[in-house]
Structure 1
Amino acid sequence: MMQRRFLSSSTNAANYYKITLKRSTIGLSKDFKAAAHTLGLYRLQQTTYQPVNASTAGSILKLKELVKVENVDAIPTKEDLLAAKPPRGYKVIGNKI
Structure 2
Amino acid sequence: MQRRLFTTSAPTANYFKVTLKRSTIGLSDDFRAATLTLGLVRLHQTTYQPVNPSTAGLILKLKELVKVEHVASIPTPEDIKAAKPPRGYKVVGRM
TM range (shorter): 0.7 to 0.9
Match status 1:85 vs 2:84:
yes
Equivalent pairs counted in the alignment come to: 85
Instruction: Provide the TM-score with structure 1 as the length reference.
Output: 0.82
Between structures 1 and 2, the one with greater helix share: 1
Partner of 1:58: 57
CA deviation after TM superposition for structure 1 residue 90, in Å? 4.5
- What TM-score do the two structures reach when normalised by structure 2? 0.83
In the other structure, the counterpart of 1:95 is: none
Unaligned runs of 5+ in 1: 92-97
Distance 2:84 2:9 in 1: 35
In the aligned structure 1, how far is the partner of 2:12 from the partner of 2:81? 26
RMSD, aligned α-carbons: 1.7
Alignment partner, residue 37 of structure 1: 36
**% same residue:** 75
CA distance in structure 2 between the aligned counterparts of 1:76 and 1:8, rounded to whole angstroms: 28
The runs of at least 4 consecutive aligned structure 1 residues that moved more than 4 Å come to: none
Q: Distance in 1 between matches of 2:59 and 2:85?
A: 30
* Alignment-derived partner of residue 19 in structure 2: 20
